[in-house]
A and B are shown apart, each in its own frame.
Chain A
Amino acid sequence: MSLLKIEGMRVEFPSRRGSIVATKDVNLELAAGEILGIVGESGAGKSTIANAILDLLDPPGIMPKGKIFLEGERIDGLSLDEMRKIRGRRIGMIFQDPLTSLNPLQTIEEQLVETIVTHLDVSVARALERAIEMLDKVGIPDPAIRIKHYPHQFSGGMRQRVVIALSLCADPDVILADEPTTALDVSIQAQILDLMRKLVKETGVGMIIITHDMGVISDICDRVMVMYRGDVVEVGTTQKILGNPDHPYTKSLISAVPRPDKRIDRFPLVEYIEEAGVAHKSIDVKTHWLGKSRDFDNSKSEFLVSVKNLEMRFRTVNSIFPSKRKYLRAVDDVSFDIRAGEVFGLVGESGSGKSTVARMISGIYTPHAGNIFFDGADLTALSSRKAVNHYRRQMQMIFQDPFSSLNGRMRVADIVAEPIKFHKLASSNAEVKSIVNDLLDHVGLGAIAAKKFPHEFSGGQRQRISIARALATRPRFLICDEPTSALDVSIQAQVLNLLKDLQEELSLTMLFISHDLPVIRQVCDRVAVMRDGKLVEVADSEDLFKNPQSDYAKHLLDLMPRLVSA
């Protein structure tokens, strides 16, 4: 008998304009000691399945059809009280963000012991013993001491270990893990996945992992279920799905994952992708507003952007005595040059200072020391607003989070028109309008997008709006700060293609920041590796991937997820 079984699950979200069907007809079975991966892009209904199992659908979600069995016993439609006995006790949950899934005001001990005492019939002293045992099991050193600590005293990876201990401490039969490693760095991701696999095999629980990341699937899962817009398109063993998928959607999903092993010219255009069908009315940049009349000289020098001994410190302890102040060096003595027309990559794990460098170049932060040269002019020496704006216009930035980088209260037309109007790049409102429409067309959205608000678009489409806004000042230099890390792989492929096309058409120079090495390899000409605010290595992209010099770069390359499981 299977541990968890779902038959014909259908989940709907009724709304003003008809019901949205989140999952159509999901059937799944999970055996003890098995890890089942549910993979799919955002909106495929992956998380809905987990929430429906626990009867935790966000209102107004309902499950009009389907049966859920836990060890042969039906658990859908149970009363609130009965359901509460199942959550945590028999089905454990691991959430995406370890920063928010622990209560910051309670020690680890309080949270673990409370959970154990609630679910298992044991004394507090026995619960404490068990809690320490669990922490030891998930690989936290000195568990008896660490258990007295608060969540903020743990690093992100350690915190996720605590969350895993928390989900395991009531000895559940099934664990649902919703994107358990998405918020973590690659090196920590690998450790957590190893741990989860080990624990599942030891304790014999069944685990469902929900993820958008093919790398995670290939690392940990026994079987995989691929979902597309609420439908299950394919189920099979990991080897089968990754190595020899049957369904065209699975094939396209795998082909869209950036390859770490060699550089390809473009990502393959695949069907089944929301935006692939949009007619791309391209404009001839030689004659269009976008390409013409640059009122600045093109490439005086070999290097468009040069950074010399850049330093940024954030004050962590303040004092009226300057000598007592303490600082965190986010960026420490960083120098590099970016050639006109190239794509320069900046790679590193979170906290390495790569975004800080980008923000200093774009003028959001003022560097503590060092110089930034743009086209030969020292930007750090400029003081008048007018002079700064002259250069600001020539560099634009594309941000990581498509959901916060657009002002939700403005229409798309106004968002894209703002820089044109502010820098007076067009003579009349009618011209602004036609430029905005052309830009939106050019990034593959179509002029109809202009009248809508940002929230009506998906992540990938929003990123296109961001790109249109950045292009609206006719920049020479584009800073892309993790432009695709919040996007699904297929969308990521589309956006990267678009950036590549634009870069060639408009001969843009780009600074491309990412933590994702395969993406870097596909996009960048030269790469700089950063760690703890310092530059570790600068090399041609192909050289770096074939023959890394520094130990840290080697380490990062080792951790790169390989799709085809060995």
Chain B
Amino acid sequence: MRDFARRFFASDIWWSYKSSPLVVVASIITAIIIFSSVFATYVAPYNPFDLTQFDLMDSLKPPVWMADGTSKFLLGTDDQGRDVLSTILYGSRVSLLVGFFSVIFAMIIGIVVGLVAGYSGGWVDAVLMRVADVQLSFPAILIALLVDGVARGLLPKNSHDELAVYVLIVAIALSFWVQYARTVRSSTMVERTKEYVQAAQVIGLPQPLILFRHILPNVMGPVLVIATIQLALAVITEATLSFLGVGVPPTSPSLGTLIRVGNDYLFSGEWWITVFPGVALVILVLAVNILGDWLRDALNPKLR
């Protein structure tokens, strides 16, 4: 273990990490956000979804540094008297869960389809890519709505709320895989003609082995970058779906729902209800994006 730690601190990845202050800051921020949302029960001052803990009398209190603010609620309260800081912490739980898992799920589908289409060419490629094109011509929201509607029809009614998050993940993943598939396909078509792939063919390796052991690591660069951008999109799509009433139940709102709800109060002066969740979302997305960009370069042995 100590040996491993020593090797890690001597490695180029660690060197490239610590020599970029931006990446260090981004990773610390991401870690803080993930930590505080996972342990929201302990970190947050209140549990905003426990009806006994909030009071309508506290509603629409501004943040602490404004004239009417109280130190009870650092970032103010919403229309029902819930602490905004606590709702953000609890809300980013749902957002992160949906964001990460839908991205991973979409990535897996997209990579497999892209690799197979790019490597096989011919009619396999044609069929898979036309499917992708058809899907691309519908807005992601529409597909997610469709998946959600189908799921609601199939699942028993009383389990809707529990399963809502999983349905969301599947719905978002199924509408996002096309991006990965297209990118992976075009990189695969380039890699396929390189001689290391021919060398693998001459050795006699079967196609799946060539695809996953040889080509996949060489096409991952752009995929990681798309993934970080998609993470943001997934969080936003989840917000939209929740706003339309097909996402997570209002009793455990996500970051996106908070922004939507706060929107109504934006023009009546209570800006903090929507701005703080928005800022949290922007910081999260930016930090993950910087990390993804760095990871792409750090994992490339040539750029070390």
Give me the interface of A with B, judged by CB distance under 8 Å: 16, 359, 362-364, 385, 388-389, 392-393, 395-397, 399-401, 404-410, 418-419, 422-423, 453, 455, 466, 469, 473
- Bound state CA distance, A388 and B203, in angstroms? 11
- Bound state CA distance, A400 and B213, in angstroms? 22
Is the CB–CB distance between B202 and A364 below 8 Å? yes
> Is the C-beta of B269 less than 8 angstroms from some C-beta in chain A?
no
Give chain A nearest CB distance to B33 CB in angstroms: 31
- Given A359-B198, A364-B198, A397-B198, check contact A409 B203 (CB 8 Å): no
Is the CB–CB distance between A397 and B202 below 8 Å? yes
Please give, as numbers and ranges, the residues of chain B lying within 8 Å of A418 by CB-CB distance: 200, 203, 205
Chain B 1-39 against A: per-residue CB contact (8 Å), 1 yes, 0 no? 000000000000001000000000000000000000000
- Bound state CA distance, A206 and B194, in angstroms? 40
List the B residue with the shortest CB-CB distance to A481: B195
Give chain B nearest CB distance to A494 CB in angstroms: 21
Is the CB–CB distance between A473 and B217 below 8 Å? no
Please give, as numbers and ranges, the residues of chain A lying within 8 Å of B194 by CB-CB distance: 404-405
Give chain B nearest CB distance to A472 CB in angstroms: 8
- Bound state CA distance, A418 and B206, in angstroms? 12
- Which one of A392, A400, A407, A410 contacts B204 once the chains associate, using CB atoms below 8 Å? A392
Is the CB–CB distance between A364 and B201 below 8 Å? yes
- Which one of B201, B209, B218, B302 contacts A407 once the chains associate, using CB atoms below 8 Å? B218
- Bound state CA distance, A422 and B206, in angstroms? 10
- Bound state CA distance, A466 and B203, in angstroms? 12
6 A-B contact pairs sorted by A residue (CB < 8 Å): A389-B204, A392-B202, A396-B203, A399-B198, A405-B194, A408-B301
- Which one of B195, B201, B204, B217 contacts A409 once the chains associate, using CB atoms below 8 Å? B217
- Bound state CA distance, A419 and B205, in angstroms? 8
Please give, as numbers and ranges, the residues of chain B lying within 8 Å of A406 by CB-CB distance: 196, 199
List the B residue with the shortest CB-CB distance to A475: B202
Is the CB–CB distance between A400 and B203 below 8 Å? no
Chain B binding surface SS class = helix
Give chain A nearest CB distance to B67 CB in angstroms: 53
Please give, as numbers and ranges, the residues of chain A lying within 8 Å of B217 by CB-CB distance: 407, 409-410
> Is the C-beta of B296 less than 8 angstroms from some C-beta in chain A?
no
- Given A16-B15, A453-B301, A455-B301, check contact A405 B196 (CB 8 Å): yes
- Bound state CA distance, A401 and B194, in angstroms? 9
- Which one of A16, A385, A407, A453 contacts B196 once the chains associate, using CB atoms below 8 Å? A407
Chain B 164-202 against A: per-residue CB contact (8 Å), 1 yes, 0 no? 000000000000000000000000000000111011111
Is the CB–CB distance between B204 and A388 below 8 Å? yes
Which of A392, A393, A409, A466 counts the most B-chain CB atoms under 10 A from its CB? A409
6 A-B pairs with the lowest CB-CB distances in the bound complex, closest first = A405-B195, A409-B217, A399-B195, A392-B204, A404-B194, A453-B301
Interface size, chain B (Cβ < 8 Å): 20
Is the CB–CB distance between B218 and A422 below 8 Å? no
Is the CB–CB distance between B218 and A362 below 8 Å? no
> Is the C-beta of B260 less than 8 angstroms from some C-beta in chain A?
no
Please give, as numbers and ranges, the residues of chain B lying within 8 Å of A395 by CB-CB distance: 202
- Given A363-B201, A423-B204, A455-B301, check contact A400 B195 (CB 8 Å): yes
Please give, as numbers and ranges, the residues of chain A lying within 8 Å of B199 by CB-CB distance: 397, 399, 405-406, 466, 469
Is the CB–CB distance between A401 and B195 below 8 Å? yes
> Is the C-beta of B214 less than 8 angstroms from some C-beta in chain A?
yes
- Bound state CA distance, A362 and B196, in angstroms? 14
Please give, as numbers and ranges, the residues of chain B lying within 8 Å of A399 by CB-CB distance: 195, 198-199
- Bound state CA distance, A389 and B201, in angstroms? 10
- Bound state CA distance, A16 and B194, in angstroms? 30
- Bound state CA distance, A359 and B202, in angstroms? 9
List the B residue with the shortest CB-CB distance to A411: B301
Please give, as numbers and ranges, the residues of chain A lying within 8 Å of B218 by CB-CB distance: 407-409
Please give, as numbers and ranges, the residues of chain B lying within 8 Å of A473 by CB-CB distance: 203
- Bound state CA distance, A421 and B139, in angstroms? 47
- Bound state CA distance, A340 and B198, in angstroms? 25
Which of A362, A363, A389, A407 counts the most B-chain CB atoms under 10 A from its CB? A407
Please give, as numbers and ranges, the residues of chain A lying within 8 Å of B213 by CB-CB distance: 410
Give chain A nearest CB distance to B182 CB in angstroms: 22
Please give, as numbers and ranges, the residues of chain B lying within 8 Å of A455 by CB-CB distance: 301-302
- Bound state CA distance, A409 and B219, in angstroms? 11
- Bound state CA distance, A422 and B199, in angstroms? 13
- Bound state CA distance, A364 and B203, in angstroms? 10
Give chain A nearest CB distance to B197 CB in angstroms: 8
List the B residue with the shortest CB-CB distance to A455: B302
Q: Taking A406-B199, A423-B204, A473-B203 as given, write out 12 further A-B residue pairs in contact, using a Cβ cutoff of 8 Å, ordered by the A residue number.
A: A385-B206, A388-B204, A392-B202, A401-B195, A405-B196, A408-B301, A410-B213, A410-B214, A419-B203, A422-B203, A422-B204, A422-B205
Please give, as numbers and ranges, the residues of chain A lying within 8 Å of B209 by CB-CB distance: 422
List the A residue with the shortest CB-CB distance to B206: A385
Give chain B nearest CB distance to A238 CB in angstroms: 36
Give chain A nearest CB distance to B192 CB in angstroms: 11
Please give, as numbers and ranges, the residues of chain B lying within 8 Å of A423 by CB-CB distance: 203-204
List the A residue with the shortest CB-CB distance to B199: A405
Give chain B nearest CB distance to A394 CB in angstroms: 10
Q: Which parts of B213-257 form the interface with A (CB within 8 Å)? A: 213-214, 217-218
Please give, as numbers and ranges, the residues of chain B lying within 8 Å of A453 by CB-CB distance: 301
Please give, as numbers and ranges, the residues of chain B lying within 8 Å of A400 by CB-CB distance: 195
- Bound state CA distance, A9 and B196, in angstroms? 39
List the B residue with the shortest CB-CB distance to A385: B206
Give chain A nearest CB distance to B212 CB in angstroms: 12
Please give, as numbers and ranges, the residues of chain A lying within 8 Å of B201 by CB-CB distance: 363-364
- Which one of B195, B204, B205, B301 contacts A404 once the chains associate, using CB atoms below 8 Å? B195
Please give, as numbers and ranges, the residues of chain A lying within 8 Å of B196 by CB-CB distance: 404-407
- Bound state CA distance, A407 and B301, in angstroms? 11
List the A residue with the shortest CB-CB distance to B205: A422
Which of B194, B195, B205 counts the most A-chain CB atoms under 10 A from its CB? B195
- Bound state CA distance, A395 and B204, in angstroms? 10
List the B residue with the shortest CB-CB distance to A466: B199
List the B residue with the shortest CB-CB distance to A388: B204
- Given A400-B195, A405-B196, A405-B199, check contact A393 B204 (CB 8 Å): yes
- Bound state CA distance, A408 and B205, in angstroms? 18
List the B residue with the shortest CB-CB distance to A479: B202
- Bound state CA distance, A469 and B199, in angstroms? 9
